[in-house]
A and B are shown apart, each in its own frame.
Chain A
Amino acid sequence: MTPIANDDAAVTAVLAGDRDAFASLVEAHRERAYRATYLVLHDAAAAEDVMQEAFVRAYRSLDRFRLGDPFGAWLIRIAVNLALNEVRSRGRRLAWLPRIWAGQASRPGPESTVEAAERRSEVQEAIATLPANDRVALYLRYYLDLNEREMAVALAVAPGTVKSRLSRASQRLRSVIEARYPHLRHTFEERGPDR
């Protein structure tokens, strides 16, 4: 695979007939897109299936990609939409997700393993109560670290809408946590602004 200078160059090359150039795009962005899909589905096999389709759709829709936009965010948009469709089509309930999340290996931290696992479970349980758009906004911002411009592309909204979308999602999550898991707030208030 010949290295491609940047995403726009790779897209241009693919559209000009260089199919191999698509591999460089995929290689550069597949991990974050897969993680976005996994966050929505919490099912590795289903996330893989969805990503397969997402890559095919991205390839076939490449002529509609706007040069200058972040390609990774555009790919995430396709993948997340497919994942949400999958959730809807299967009528999946997300209530079981926190258990899966809590059962996974994690990086060691200052908390005890049990404490950390319980916290993750509760956080995910709280997020799972939110509408899909709110969940996605929080995942993109905090779990995948997308910036505002990337989020705008991934959510297919105007850049100015990103903050209000995030603010709404955060407020809803805040309400859920305060009502159901007030100790989480206390814990992280006590920790203070330092990290």
Chain B
Amino acid sequence: MTEPSRDWLERLLEADAAAAAYPATPQFALATAEPGKRRPQTLRLAAAGVAIAVVAALAVVLALPESREAVADFLGLRVQGEQVEILPTPRAGTTPTPLPTPVPVESIASPITASEAAAAVGFTPEYVEGAGEPRLYRLPYLGVRVFIAIYPEFTLWETPDFLFAKGLPDGRILEEVTVRGQPAYWMETTERVVRILRPDGSEVVGTRRTVRAPTLVWRGAALTYRLESESLSLEQALAIAETLP
């Protein structure tokens, strides 16, 4: 779009644009459904080796700037409302994109009281008896129904209808367990990024965070739970999970 002559404003803008500096374009990891479809496809993965359920690739991971593209395997586990993606292993000689600095839950959530919790999150949250007095939070995003209770020994996330999604380094193990006879899994790996997805699969901007704590994820009668704890064992986490409906 060449103008016959450029006036002072155009020269000014072009000079400003030429001087602009941008952050390095990041690597993107995407969970994608079939093109043209509005809901993410949840795939069930067949057990292989240990106790991981794995089925098929669902996603595209975008290439790092210099060279390569990599396709991530997205694992649809048997826990409703949970999606796990296995991130590609960085090639030799490349530097993987660092994970975001871990932030406390409080930095992305808003405090609420027990009396206002149900109205604030849009469903009746469940509590763990005998685990101490929790600090209560909700995610302050329109239409996002996530309740968070931070107990002295663990953090419990509850949602009736949203997806948790996370990226794991390749080669990590998820241990498949059961809670009340229903599929669940225990993740005890290095840090990973956890995101909140809307029912249509789109990410709730601002909910991404790095998690280091071992995590138990399961689907209850009406809610999907994720229990994160730095101190509890799998057995202890399962014992807590069994108390929730």
Q: Does B50 contact A (CB under 8 A)?
A: no
B4 to chain A, nearest CB (A): 11
Q: Report Cα–Cα, A185/B31, bound state, in Å.
A: 48
Q: Given A46-B205, A56-B203, are A106 and B20 also a contact pair (CB < 8 Å)? A: yes
> From residue 36 to 61 of chain B, which have CB atoms closer than 8 A to chain A?
36-38, 57, 60-61
> From residue 190 to 240 of chain B, which have CB atoms closer than 8 A to chain A?
201-203, 205-206, 208
Q: Given A148-B1, A170-B9, are A26 and B23 also a contact pair (CB < 8 Å)? A: no
Contact of A188 with B203 in the complex, beta carbons under 8 Å: no
Q: How many residues of B contact A (CB 8 A)?
A: 48
Q: How many residues of A contact B (CB 8 A)?
A: 69
Per-residue contact bits, chain B 1-45, to A (CB 8 Å; 1 contact, 0 not) = 100011011111111111111110110111111011110000000
Contact of B205 with A49 in the complex, beta carbons under 8 Å: yes
- Nearest to A1 among chain B residues (CB) is B69
Contact of A123 with B33 in the complex, beta carbons under 8 Å: no
> From residue 141 to 192 of chain B, which have CB atoms closer than 8 A to chain A?
142
Contact with B205, one of A35, A86, A105, A120 (Cβ below 8 angstroms): A86
Q: Report Cα–Cα, A95/B31, bound state, in Å.
A: 35
Contact of A24 with B69 in the complex, beta carbons under 8 Å: yes
Q: Report Cα–Cα, A147/B202, bound state, in Å.
A: 30
Q: Say whether chain A's binding surface is mostly helix, strand, loop, or mixed.
A: helix
Q: Does A94 contact B (CB under 8 A)?
A: no
B100 to chain A, nearest CB (A): 7
Contact of B21 with A142 in the complex, beta carbons under 8 Å: no
Q: Does A112 contact B (CB under 8 A)?
A: no
Q: Given A27-B63, A56-B30, are A109 and B19 also a contact pair (CB < 8 Å)? A: yes
Contact with A22, one of B26, B60, B202 (Cβ below 8 angstroms): B60
Contact of A53 with B60 in the complex, beta carbons under 8 Å: no
- Nearest to B195 among chain A residues (CB) is A52
Q: Does A101 contact B (CB under 8 A)?
A: yes
Contact with A106, one of B21, B25, B33 (Cβ below 8 angstroms): B21
Q: Report Cα–Cα, A53/B20, bound state, in Å.
A: 25
- Nearest to B208 among chain A residues (CB) is A49
Q: Report Cα–Cα, A45/B65, bound state, in Å.
A: 17
Contact with B9, one of A50, A106, A145, A173 (Cβ below 8 angstroms): A173
Tell me which residues across on chain B come within 8 A of A107, comparing CB atoms.
18-19, 21
Q: Report Cα–Cα, A189/B202, bound state, in Å.
A: 48
Contact of A1 with B63 in the complex, beta carbons under 8 Å: yes
Q: Report Cα–Cα, A160/B32, bound state, in Å.
A: 35
A172 to chain B, nearest CB (A): 11
Tell me which residues across on chain B come within 8 A of A26, comparing CB atoms.
28, 30, 60, 62-63
Contact with B14, one of A50, A151, A195 (Cβ below 8 angstroms): A195
- Nearest to B64 among chain A residues (CB) is A27
Tell me which residues across on chain A come within 8 A of B201, comparing CB atoms.
56, 60
Q: Which residues of B contact A (CB under 8 A)?
A: 1, 5-6, 8-23, 25-26, 28-33, 35-38, 57, 60-63, 65, 68-69, 71, 100, 142, 201-203, 205-206, 208
Q: Which residues of A contact B (CB under 8 A)?
A: 1, 14-15, 19-20, 22-24, 26-27, 30-31, 34-35, 38, 44-53, 55-57, 59-64, 82, 86, 89, 101, 104-107, 109, 116, 119-120, 123-124, 138, 141-143, 145, 147-148, 151, 162, 170, 173-174, 177, 184-185, 187-189, 191, 193, 195
Q: What would be 13 A-B contacts, judged by CB atoms less than 8 Å apart?
A: A20-B69, A23-B61, A31-B25, A51-B26, A59-B32, A59-B33, A59-B35, A145-B17, A147-B1, A170-B9, A174-B9, A185-B8, A191-B11
What are the 7 A-B residue pairs with the smallest beta carbon separation, nearest first? Answer: A63-B36, A62-B35, A188-B8, A44-B23, A1-B69, A142-B13, A23-B69
